[in-house]
Amino acid sequence: MFRSLRRVLCAVVAALLLPLGAQAHAAETAADAGAGYWHTSGRQILDASGQPVRIAGINWFGFETGNYVVHGLWSRDYKSMIDQMKSLGYNTIRIPYSDDIFKSGTVPNSIDFSSGKNADLQGLNSLGVLDKLVSYAGRDGLKVILDRHRPDSGGQSALWYTAAVPETTWIANLKALATRYKGQDTVVGIDLHNEPHDPACWGCGDTSLDWRLAAQRAGNAVLGVNPDLLIFVEGVQTFNGVSGWWGGNLMGVGQYPVQLSVANRVVYSAHDYATSVAQQSWFSDPTFPANMPGIWDKYWGYIFKQNIAPVWVGEFGTTLQSTVDQKWLAALVSYLRPTSTYGADSFHWTFWSWNPNSGDTGGILKDDWQTVDTVKDGYLASVKAPGFPSSGGGGSDPGDPGGGTAACTASYSVSSDWGGGFNAEVKVANSGSSALSSWKVTWTWPGAQKVTSMWNASYTQSGATVTAVNASHNGAVAVGGSASFGFGGAPGGGGVPSVSCTAT
| 257-270 per-position pLDDT tens digit | 999 999 999 999 99
| Per-residue model confidence (pLDDT) at position 392 | 63
Residue 303 amino acid letter: I
Separation between Cα atoms, residue 170 and residue 262, nearest integer Å: 20
Is 219 within 8 Å of 257 (Cβ atoms)?
no
Separation between Cα atoms, residue 459 and residue 432, nearest integer Å: 24
pLDDT at 402 over 50: no
- The one-character DSSP state at 480 is T
Three state DSSP letters for 86-126 = HHCCCCEEEEEEEHHHHCCCCCCCCCCCHHHCCHHHCCCCH
Q: Is 488 helix (H, G, I), strand (E, B) or coil?
A: strand
| Per-residue model confidence (pLDDT) at position 359 | 93
pLDDT in tens, 93-145: 999 999 999 998 899 999 999 999 999 999 999 999 999 999 999 999 999 99
Give the pLDDT band (50/70/90) at residue 478: confident
Give the pLDDT band (50/70/90) at residue 333: very high
Buried b (16+ CB within 10 A) or exposed e, 280-315: bebbeeeeebeebeebbeebbbbbbeeebbbbbbbb
Is 390 within 8 Å of 396 (Cβ atoms)?
yes
Q: Which of 8-17, 349-358, 436-445 has the highest mean pLDDT?
A: 349-358
Higher pLDDT, 492 or 356: 356
| pTM listed for this prediction | 0.77
- The one-character DSSP state at 45 is E
Q: Give bridge partners of residue 270 from the DSSP assignment.
A: 313
Separation between Cα atoms, residue 481 and residue 464, nearest integer Å: 29
* Biggest CA pair distance of the chain: 72
Active-site annotation holds for 28: no
Quick one: average pLDDT of 472-492? 83
Q: Is 132 helix (H, G, I), strand (E, B) or coil?
A: helix
pLDDT at 23 over 80: no
Q: Which of the residues 64, 234, 315, 425 is marked catalytic?
A: 315
Active-site annotation holds for 64: no
Give which of 498, 481, 487 is closest to 407, Cα–Cα.
Answer: 481
| Per-residue model confidence (pLDDT) at position 84 | 94
Q: Which of the residues 64, 195, 234, 425 is marked catalytic?
A: 195
Separation between Cα atoms, residue 466 and residue 350, nearest integer Å: 33
